[in-house]
């Protein structure tokens, strides 16, 4: 069964610091998603990574994908309070029927 | 705004009752997916429909059922509700049938509380 593991599950950061969230998955999927969720809200699509070596950046967030290692990273640069949210990675199940989500990383940025 | 519309936004009901959650996909999208998000299980895939036909099934309880209508909106029916069914239910839609080649967009969700 496909497993998607994120770590850490909880991250408390100081404003201005850098950190990385890791997402490991067990299938050969070459499409990976990162979502942001604010409490009780919907899943906001941040990045869609489509191939090995893909790197995308938006503001203080940068995501990368290594399909050979089955690893994606979400790097946060100079964190600000507005980035506080839960971040999920997700991959398709290998058949394209569904997305399998990681458990999520709760990010808290303290000023 | 993703373009996927879910109603109602909030629902409070008693154990043993039945509710219907509604989803209107983005214009032009043929696939609809239902997910359940709970504190203990995380985000779990329930079921997918494509152009009116059931396409894939996940961990959906027998007390739950869904359908997609000719106008492509979808309904998720939850019956004999239990306290443990309290969760956020998301609908997502995509143009194509295969998530290897198409992106899914999520609605705002329906918060179901069973008391």
pLDDT digits 0-9 by tens, A69-91: 999 999 999 999 999 999 999 99
Residue A15 has a pLDDT of 96
Whether pLDDT at B36 is above 80: yes
Cβ–Cβ of B48/A42 closer than 8 Å? no
**Looking at residue A2, what is its pLDDT?**
87
Task: Identify the residue whose tokens are 């996940």.
Answer: B58
Partnered with residue A88 across adjacent β-strands are A35
At residue B84, the 3 state secondary structure works out as helix
Which among A33, A35, A99 has CB closest to B45? A99
pLDDT value at residue B64: 98
* Distance, CA of A86 to chain centre: 9
Which pLDDT score is estimated for A31? 86
Residue B99 scores a pLDDT above 90: no
Strand partners, A103: none
Nearest CA in chain B to A37: B108
Cα of A51 to nearest chain B Cα, Å: 11
* Per-residue confidence band for B40, with pLDDT thresholds at 50, 70 and 90: confident
**Cα–Cα distance, B49 to B57 (Å, whole number):** 9
Residues of chain A under the 50 pLDDT cut: none
Q: Please tell me the number of Cα atoms within 13 Å of B15 on its side-chain side.
A: 4
How many Å apart are CA A41 and CA B105, to the nearest integer? 14
Average pLDDT over residues B5-11: 97
Q: Which of A87, A101, A76, A95 is nearest to A25 (CA)?
A: A101
- Flag whether residue A104 sits within 8 Å of chain B, measured between CB atoms: yes
Q: Has residue B92 got a pLDDT over 90?
A: yes
Strands A4-7 and B110-114, by their bridges, are unpaired
CB contact under 8 A, A42 and B90: yes
Task: Supply the mean pLDDT for chain B.
Answer: 95
pLDDT tier at B17, thresholds 50, 70, 90: very high
| Cα three-residue angle B88-A32-A76, rounded to 5 degrees | 85
Helix, strand counts (H, E) of chain A:
0, 11
DSSP state of A86: E
CA distance A92 to A107: 24
For residue B98, is pLDDT > 90? no
Residues, chain B: 115
The arithmetic mean of pLDDT across residues B39-44, rounded, is: 91
């Amino acid at each position: 069964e496909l497993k998607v593991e994120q770590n850490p599950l909880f991250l408390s950061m100081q404003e201005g610091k850098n950190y990385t969230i890791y997402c490991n998955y067990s299938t050969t999927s070459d499409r990976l998603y990162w979502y942001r969720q604010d409490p009780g809200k919907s899943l906001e699509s941040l990045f869609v990574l489509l191939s090995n070596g893909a790197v995308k950046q938006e503001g203080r967030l940068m995501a990368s994908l290594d399909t050979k290692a089955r690893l994606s990273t979400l790097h946060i640069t100079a964190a600000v309070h507005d980035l506080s949210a839960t971040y999920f990675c997700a991959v398709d199940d290998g058949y394209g029927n569904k997305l399998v989500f990681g458990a999520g990383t709760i990010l808290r940025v303290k000023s | 705004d993703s373009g996927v519309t879910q109603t109602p936004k909030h629902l409070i009901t008693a154990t043993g009752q039945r509710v219907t959650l509604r989803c209107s996909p983005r214009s032009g999208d043929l696939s609809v997916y239902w997910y359940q998000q709970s504190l203990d299980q995380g985000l779990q895939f329930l079921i997918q429909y494509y152009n009116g036909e059931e396409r894939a099934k996940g961990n959906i309880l027998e007390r739950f059922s869904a359908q997609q209508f000719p106008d492509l909106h979808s309904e998720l029916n939850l019956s004999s509700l239990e306290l443990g069914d309290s969760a956020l239910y998301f609908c997502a839609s995509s143009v194509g049938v295969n998530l290897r080649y198409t992106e899914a967009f999520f609605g705002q969700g329906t918060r179901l509380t069973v008391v």
